[in-house]
Chains A and B, each alone.
Chain A
């Protein structure tokens, strides 16, 4: 039986993309798989009694070493902010390529805590900063110093000791350009070094909290239990900065979604599944319910989604237990069809993630295909004709062509870069100034504009000649030729309309990172948790692949 890949015109809608969940393809999980055989080491731990100072952690294999350098600094409560306008953080981090020299550490001590206004070098790969969850951190210090383990209820409500507020890579602020390292086998997957940074930061937070507790009361202090550590992750506050990324990297976006879609298609095409595969699927599904029931948020929007997801999952579990027989042919195809018929988008995508769990043989080869050499697709094939381009647009953007951008509600917002922080922002064009400096992120509107010009152009006109008169449409001409080859490269929605919920775009990217417990704080930023339940570095050699559900 042959199953078709799902229709991009359905899958690439924002509401669907905003319903994605972590899966076996997620970057933090593939990072752990890749680095499980590397030698992990804490090379330096030079903190004072209050936990301020420098620490270094590394992963090493043969001649290759990656070192996380941590700088923990004292800041006042008033200075602590997750917003991008902050200038000081409890700790700042960089991932250094190799073993840092003393000179490197001195240089980085000056630059890394400054973050966006500091300068890094080609020897640094990623950069980040994080703030304590003061309430949790202090509680843990207090408990440990008295010889007690902390209150698990409090810990499970928050889920982490520290929250990062940005993780930068790929040439930002002088960091190494991707091309310098792209041929390294171990990073043949997107965001692998960003994941490494976050993972090692997590370990630093445990070591720091133990260290401070020990100094507070050396006689009675105990260490944070490793099973508790395992259930803590790293928080992250994410704003709009992430949203334009998925628009600006169309082939990369395609490769992420395509990998997921290919995996789903191949799983639906499996005629018979074995007992072990059924067991992994069922266990993952049942155990994952805990991740939904411990999902805390004050966001009404998210609470509604969580409730709907929980109800639908329960309905699905009843179906699986009472009505479904895995011995039928193509059982996962039947499951998928049932989900489409009987559950919400979020539940369907949730179970799709679960369906990937038993099938490493399908998923693993796809992981290495999730990167993209984007420059390869940058040049416009200008020998093609207006007719070709029009056909592509009609085929690939059918719903977008139906949008009337003359209507105010469809043209309501604009994306811009703020002058003070050089970060993407989103505002109402009819109420705020600056729409004349709009970023080229209103793809749906510009594709429609391109289509209207193509309709009155000569079919046989080649694109080189078309572009002479239509230079203002060049950016979308390029995209249309990209989507011809990469069907999942474009969000099939209007990203400037009144109804847009920008966090759907963040949610898509974060699900591929492997984030859990999306907690929207508004329609423009949210908090998440990463690596919660993940093995600790010392346990990496042999760990449960379904740790996300089984912790």
Chain B
């Protein structure tokens, strides 16, 4: 088994050899490490991308907008990912961001995952029937675990989710009520003596 440190270093060096700057290559190393840590096929997909890259042209998306359309080639997932990460504070306001075609979409996910951590909000990524939930860079949930991610995707929808409960008020109340069973009913004497402050606060 390869260690994550080996995966990071080799991905970084390969990315430099594939033409990315050292700084971007460092980002790619960390990203592939993250994908592998979360159980996705990072090494395999990066390899496929670099095998394709010399023969296929990809579009570099530098400034991320609400709607991002490439007329001809698919967007490069690395440039898209790095710029998404760099610009996350300014694009957060869009809430929903779309890309009409992205090559090797799995490779952009770690950058979005790190973006999720920066803004403290979950990010949902959807294309075809595939869905990813990026949870503040703690993990990535998906409905394609143990399956290959497609090598290209159309109409990707990236949604920045507001921090909201995913349970009803009723469900919360019910759980809270049960938790109250661990509390002690306060007598007058406990009210006076068991708390640290409150009696001489006007001194």
Q: Do A and B bind each other?
A: yes
Tell which of A172, A179, A474, A477 touches B6, judged by Cβ atoms closer than 8 Å: A172
* Interface membership of A254, Cβ < 8 A: no
Determine if A468 and B23 form an interchain contact, defined as CB atoms under 8 angstroms apart: no
Tell which of B1, B30, B83, B118 touches A174, judged by Cβ atoms closer than 8 Å: B1
Contacts of B26 in A (CB 8 A): 378, 474-475, 478
Contacts of B62 in A (CB 8 A): 468
- List A137-179 residues whose CB lies under 8 Å from chain B: 170-179
Determine if A464 and B3 form an interchain contact, defined as CB atoms under 8 angstroms apart: no
Contacts of B5 in A (CB 8 A): 170-172, 177-178
Contacts of B63 in A (CB 8 A): 465, 468
Q: With contacts A172-B6, A468-B63 known, is A475 near B21, CB below 8 A?
A: yes
Chain B min CB distance to A413 (Å): 18
Closest residue on chain B to residue A473 by CB atoms: B23
Chain A min CB distance to B49 (Å): 18
Q: How far is the CA of A13 from the CA of B22 in the complex (A)?
A: 25
Number of chain A interface residues as a range: 20 to 34
Q: With contacts A121-B1, A174-B1, A375-B30 known, is A464 near B90, CB below 8 A?
A: yes
**Mask: chain B, 58-92; 1 = CB below 8 Å from A; 0 = not:** 00001100000000000000000001011101100
Determine if B3 and A474 form an interchain contact, defined as CB atoms under 8 angstroms apart: no
* Interface membership of B173, Cβ < 8 A: no
Q: How far is the CA of A462 from the CA of B90 in the complex (A)?
A: 11
Determine if B23 and A464 form an interchain contact, defined as CB atoms under 8 angstroms apart: no
Closest residue on chain A to residue B91 by CB atoms: A464
Determine if B23 and A478 form an interchain contact, defined as CB atoms under 8 angstroms apart: yes
Determine if A122 and B1 form an interchain contact, defined as CB atoms under 8 angstroms apart: yes
Closest residue on chain A to residue B8 by CB atoms: A171
Q: How far is the CA of A440 from the CA of B21 in the complex (A)?
A: 10
Chain B min CB distance to A252 (Å): 14
Determine if B87 and A382 form an interchain contact, defined as CB atoms under 8 angstroms apart: yes
**Mask: chain A, 380-424; 1 = CB below 8 Å from B; 0 = not:** 101100000000000000000000000000000000010000000
Q: With contacts A473-B23, A474-B23, A475-B22 known, is A171 near B86, CB below 8 A?
A: no
Closest residue on chain B to residue A466 by CB atoms: B86
Q: How far is the CA of A177 from the CA of B86 in the complex (A)?
A: 28
Contacts of B4 in A (CB 8 A): 171, 177, 179
Interface centre among B1, B21, B30 (most CB of A within 10 A): B21
* Interface membership of B122, Cβ < 8 A: no
Q: How far is the CA of A477 from the CA of B27 in the complex (A)?
A: 13
Closest residue on chain B to residue A174 by CB atoms: B3
Contacts of A382 in B (CB 8 A): 85-87, 89
Contacts of A467 in B (CB 8 A): 86
* Interface membership of B101, Cβ < 8 A: no
- Give the number of chain B interface residues (Cβ < 8 Å): 25
Chain A min CB distance to B42 (Å): 15
Determine if A172 and B3 form an interchain contact, defined as CB atoms under 8 angstroms apart: yes
* Interface membership of B114, Cβ < 8 A: yes
Q: How far is the CA of A175 from the CA of B1 in the complex (A)?
A: 9
- List A475-489 residues whose CB lies under 8 Å from chain B: 475-478
Closest residue on chain B to residue A477 by CB atoms: B23
Contacts of A178 in B (CB 8 A): 5
**Mask: chain A, 440-473; 1 = CB below 8 Å from B; 0 = not:** 1000000000000000000000111101100111
* Interface membership of A341, Cβ < 8 A: no
Determine if B87 and A464 form an interchain contact, defined as CB atoms under 8 angstroms apart: yes
* Interface membership of A2, Cβ < 8 A: no
Q: How far is the CA of A465 from the CA of B23 in the complex (A)?
A: 15
Q: How far is the CA of A176 from the CA of B6 in the complex (A)?
A: 11
Determine if A174 and B6 form an interchain contact, defined as CB atoms under 8 angstroms apart: yes
Closest residue on chain B to residue A121 by CB atoms: B1
* Interface membership of B157, Cβ < 8 A: no
Chain A min CB distance to B110 (Å): 12
Determine if A464 and B83 form an interchain contact, defined as CB atoms under 8 angstroms apart: yes
* Interface membership of B136, Cβ < 8 A: no
* Interface membership of A379, Cβ < 8 A: yes
Tell which of A175, A383, A417, A475 touches B23, judged by Cβ atoms closer than 8 Å: A475
- Leading 8 A-B pairs by shortest Cβ distance: A474-B23, A171-B5, A171-B3, A475-B23, A464-B86, A440-B22, A382-B86, A475-B22
Q: Give me 4 other A-B pairs in contact (C-beta within 8 A), A379-B85, A471-B20 excluded.
A: A177-B4, A471-B24, A473-B21, A474-B21
A–B pairs, 6, beta carbons within 8 Å: A170-B5, A171-B5, A177-B3, A417-B13, A471-B23, A474-B26
